[in-house]
Amino acid sequence: MGCRQLSNKETTIHVALRTGGLDSAAIEQLVESPSNGAQCVFRGVVRRDSDLNPVESLEYDAYSEMAARQLQEMAKDASKKWPGARIALEHRLGSVPLGEPSVIIAVGTPHRAEAFDCCRFLIEELKHRVPIWKKEIGASGARWVEDNRAPVGQSE
């Protein structure tokens, strides 16, 4: 799918929507820098348990053009809040089997508090702003998961 990068001496932003597996090591490498003393990585993986049944996989669909734009905008917003942060974010589309990551966010900053805060901001913004939908697939059937997004700043 799409991959957008913005890079200069101080800031790196990489966002992508992928139809295949996500490469955690490659994503993490994008935020490495000799000036950064912290890296925070979030991996959202497909879990078995859900409200209705055991999950075998998730299927993600998106309004791709808008989703790519929103990912880029929220990463730019994060880079304004945490100047110099190196940000890499990839979200998978299509079928994602149990135990595999559907989203990986990596952030590199000079200090740990900034890395944690920026990473949390990005996952919360992604859930709130980006038009990506998921369907749970299990032995008893499939269902689209309703949008139960928490307001930004609150966890689900």
Domain residue spans of the chain: 3-143
Average pLDDT over residues 110-126: 98
pLDDT tops 70 at residue 6: no
Q: Which amino acid is at 136?
A: E
- Report pLDDT for 151: 47
> Tokens representing 151?
């307001």
Residue 1's nearest CA partner among 74, 135, 93, 89 is 93
Q: What is the pLDDT of residues 46-98, one digit of tens each?
A: 999 876 679 999 999 999 999 999 999 999 999 999 999 999 999 999 999 99
Share of the chain above pLDDT 90, in %: 76
The partner residues of 46 in beta bridges, in order of sequence, read: none
Q: What distance in Å separates the CA atoms of residue 32 and residue 25, rounded to the nearest whole number?
A: 11
> Tokens representing 43?
């991996």
- Report pLDDT for 156: 45
- Report pLDDT for 59: 97
Q: What distance in Å separates the CA atoms of residue 150 and residue 156, rounded to the nearest whole number?
A: 6
Tell me the average pLDDT of the chain.
89
Fold for the domain defined by 3-143 = Aldehyde Oxidoreductase; domain 3 (3.90.1170)
> Tokens representing 36?
């950064």
pTM, 2 dp = 0.87
- Report pLDDT for 51: 66
Average pLDDT over residues 19-45: 96
